[in-house]
Amino acid sequence: MKQGLFSLQPDDYFMINGEMIEGCGEDSFYAASSEYTSVLAVFDGCGGIGSRKYPRFSGHSGAYMSARAISGAMHDWFHDFDGGMTLDSQEIGTTMQDYFRNAVDFLHRIGDTSSSRLSGMLVREFPSTAAVALARKTAGSGKKESEVLKAGGPDSQGIELHCLWAGDSRIYLLDEDGLAQLTVDDIADHDAMHNLRADGALTNMVAADGTFSLHHRVLRLKEPVVILASTDGCFGYLPTPMDFEDLLLSSLLQADCPRSFEEALRKEILEVAGDDYTLGFMCFGFESFSALKNHFKKRSAGLLKKYIRPMTENGSEEFAEKLWLSYKNDYLRYLKR
Amino acid sequence: MGSNYRLTFHVDIVFCIDATESMDPVLDSVKNNALHFYQDFQQVMEMKRKKVDQLRVRIVVFRDYIADGPRAMLVTNFFNLPEQSEELETSLRSIEAMGGGDDPEDGLEALGYAIKSDWNHDARKKRHVIVLWSDEGTHELGYGKRSKYYPNGMAENFQELTAWWGSRYAPGEMDEDAKRLILFAPDKEYWTSIVSNWNNTIHYKSEAGKGLEDIDYRQILDAISNSI
């Protein structure tokens, strides 16, 4: 599982994806790895505002079509720019946004919108979230310090992670300090706990009508580290953000090989998902699956003791809120920088 | 695995029904649509594994204050469903088409009543949905003020009613994340102004109760059951 000196092959990566109603799933994804670059990308067609059905697309919704078209655009982008290796940091964001824009514009041009008599602010054309985690080797990258938000100090070497997103699909990091959200949801209220209950409306997403922003952050990370990309079907139906970390770690620790971890995770997510779900996982810097498990044993025990077991004994909302206030300091550690 | 803290889903729906004379040919269809709507909505929610823990429905019947006096605005409290489903159906079936006077109706006052409903504000996942059927445009707010039955405390004008509805930047009387407004109404004022200016709205340009394609109906159900 150990990577080569200058290449960037993840030690393991997989994508879990499922749909609530067979054949109508509005999530899509893309995952690829070249010698120097790895990408996990998840897309969640917005079924509320993108529920218009298009006869020209076999009656599929705008949300369904959008997520798939953007996923295709992601594939094209990855191959056209050698996984981003031919681009500087800023160009990664601008070119990817152009590819996504062109994908939904194409749908808009060929989709016949005249058949619907519906209008209003709850009706958008081909809306989808996007969350892209693009990992590149940092050695010799020559980046200016101002371009990169450093997580490991000025001399650290490791991974340059580009997080690009629109909407409420997320990129996470998981290390010995626990789960950390790396992206900021495009929802008026940014509190992750509050949004589990409030179901807040998106303020930005990829769409064919109107403008959208593809946010872009760059972090320099030390190995070993786990990177996740997720649509809200995985985390949005759990009672607290702490439960999502517990779901990840307990699935990992009960598994005896990478594939059984993947299956355990799929089973746990399916148990709680209230929507289509997609989760991408990649990890760097672990010698073996045992090393991956061992790395998180202490953290899992601490999470259970401090948060999960107390919430099992006291199921009140007030108590969960109190524990969230304690948890979120670490959970938001990369968003405060 | 996991904690014992669980999320619940509460749904409140207010049906605003134009019951003036011109609605007579379609009123039975509107009543059936209303009865089916909450059932279909609940079914769609459950298909998406969103278990509705509490469902309540309220009715606002509107006509024209000047022409119809005491029968211009009839309201119920929320019915808890399924426990009070028979009472809801009895109330809906009792609505008769009558009166109305001139073409426009007092639909904005009906929305005022609906917006000021006693919504469930528990800190849980929730939807607060207003569904309105009409075959005409609306009067200006306050048009019926000379009627002694016109309510005190109603929004003074469309701007104030818009403030009651609220926006992301200036929340009004309703929960910004939970609220949805579905209009089955013609492309006439003030419905068109509402669709242009109010967030979280869907407008089906129609004669109420007529011609709703299944594909559009399913889109409406998806729009209010899914996150936005």
Contact A197 B123 (CB under 8 A): yes
Per the structure, the count of domains in chain B is: 1
User: How many CB atoms within 10 Å of residue B148?
Assistant: 8
- Pairing between β-strand B52-62 and β-strand B73-75 as defined by DSSP bridges: antiparallel
Look up residue A145 and give its DSSP letter. G
| Omega prior to A331 cis, within 30 of 0 | no
Instruction: Give the C-alpha separation, B167 to B172, whole Å.
Output: 7
Q: Say which of A21, A119, A272 has its CB closest to residue B195.
A: A119
Question: Which chain B residues are within 8 Å of A315, Cβ to Cβ?
Answer: 3-6
What is the ipTM metric for this complex? Answer: 0.79
CB contact at 8 A, B15 and B111: no
Cβ separation of A122 and B5 shorter than 8 Å? no
Q: Do A52 and B219 make contact, defined as CB atoms within 8 angstroms?
A: yes
Identify the CATH number of the domain in which residue B32 sits. 3.40.50.410
- Nearest-Cα residue of chain B relative to residue A59: B215
- Residue A331 to residue A148: CA distance in whole angstroms: 20
β-strands A170-175, A225-230: how paired? Answer: antiparallel
DSSP state of A254: T
| Out of B3, B216, B223, closest to residue A311 by CB | B3
Supply the DSSP symbol for A128: B
Chain B contacts of A61, Cβ < 8 Å? 219, 222
Among the partner-chain residues B4, B7, B126, the one whose CB lies closest to the CB of A196 is B7
For an interface test with B, the pick among A56, A58, A119, A309 (most B C-beta atoms closer than 10 Å) comes out as A119
Quote the distance between the C-alpha of residue A193 and its chain's center: 17
CB-based contacts of B176: which residues, under 8 Å, 6+ apart?
A188, A200, A201, B166, B167, B168
The helix-helix angle for B24-47 and B85-93 (nearest 10°) equals: 160
Residues of chain B with pLDDT under 70: 1-8, 123-124, 207-216, 227-228
Question: What is residue A44's DSSP assignment?
Answer: E
The answer to whether B153 touches B56, Cβ cutoff 8 Å, is no
pTM of the model: 0.84
Rounded to 5, what percent of chain A is helix, strand, coil?
40, 25, 35
To which residue do tokens 């020209």 refer? Answer: A56
CB neighbourhood size of A99 (10 A)? 20
Query: Structure tokens of B127?
Result: 């939807």
Q: Which residue has the tokens 């148990």?
A: A271
Subunit contact B177:A201, Cβ cutoff 8 A? yes
Dump the DSSP string for chain B: ---S----EEEEEEEEEE-SGGGHHHHHHHHHHHHHHHHHHHHHHHHTT--EEEEEEEEEEE--HHHHGGGSEEE--PEEETTTHHHHHHHHHT-------SSSB-HHHHHHHHHTS-----SSEEEEEEEEE-SS-BPPTTTTTTSTTSPTT--SSHHHHHHHHB-SSSB-SS-TTTEEEEEEE-S-TTHHHHHHH-SSEEEEESSTTS---HHHHHHHHHHHHS--
**Which structure tokens are listed for B76?**
């119920």
- In whole angstroms, give the CA distance from residue A267 to residue B113: 46
Taking the C-alpha atoms of residue A16 and residue A1, their distance in angstroms, rounded to an integer, is: 21
Residue B2 belongs to some domain of the structure? no
Which residues, 6 or more positions from A70, have their beta carbon under 8 angstroms from its beta carbon? Answer: A28, A43, A100, A103, A104, A128, A130, A206
B226 → closest Cβ in A48, A123, A246? A48
**Would you kindly state where each structural domain of chain A is located, as residue ranges?**
16-331
Would you state the structure tokens that stand for residue B34, as one six-digit string? Answer: 């209303």
CB contacts < 8 A, A to B, total 148
b/e map A155-176, b = 16+ CB within 10 Å: eeebbbbbbbbbbbbbbbbbbe
**Domain membership flag for residue B4:** no
Chain A residues within an 8 Å CB radius of B195: 119-121
CB contact under 8 A, A197 and B7: yes
Residue B90, domain extent: 9-225
A56, A64, A119, A122: best to mutate for the B interface, most B CBs within 10 A: A122
Give the closest of B4, B6, B219 to A53, CB-based. Answer: B219
Which one of A24, A56, A117 makes the best mutation probe of the B interface by having the most chain B beta carbons within 10 Å? A117
> Which overall architecture, per CATH, does domain A16-331 show?
4-Layer Sandwich (3.60)
Distance CA A326, CA A328 (A): 6
User: Are the beta carbons of B219 and A20 separated by less than 8 Å?
Assistant: no
pLDDT at B36: 85
Structure tokens at A310: 């107390």
Place of tokens 């399916």: A270
Listed in sequence order, the residues at least 6 apart from A208 whose beta carbon sits closer than 8 Å to its beta carbon are: A66, A104, A105, A107, A108, A125, A126
**Can you tell me the distance from the alpha carbon of A42 to that of A37, in angstroms, rounded to the nearest whole number?**
17
Please report where in the chains the tokens 């899992």 appear, as a residue. A300
Tell if the CB–CB gap between A317 and B205 is shorter than 8 Å.
no
B124 within 8 A of B110, measured Cβ to Cβ? no
Q: How far apart are CA A304 and CA A246, in angstroms?
A: 8
In angstroms, the CA A11 to CA A281 distance is: 10
State the best of A27, A121, A249 to mutate against chain B, taking most chain B CBs within 10 Å: A121
**Residues A273, B3: C-beta atoms closer than 8 Å:** no
From first to last of its 337 residues, chain A has per-residue pLDDT tens of: 443 333 456 777 889 999 877 777 899 999 998 888 999 999 999 988 898 888 889 989 899 999 999 999 999 999 999 999 889 999 999 999 999 999 999 999 998 766 667 788 888 899 999 999 999 876 544 444 344 444 443 334 579 999 999 999 999 999 999 999 999 999 877 788 887 777 778 889 999 988 999 999 999 998 899 999 999 999 988 989 999 999 999 999 999 999 999 999 999 998 888 788 999 999 999 989 999 999 999 999 999 999 999 999 998 888 999 999 999 999 999 997 5
Which of B204, B205, B215 minimises the CB distance to A53? B215
Residue B1 lies in a domain: no
pLDDT of residue A63: 94
- What pLDDT, on a 0 to 100 scale, did the predictor assign at position A141? 43
Asked if B204 is an interface residue toward chain A (Cβ–Cβ < 8 A), one would say: yes
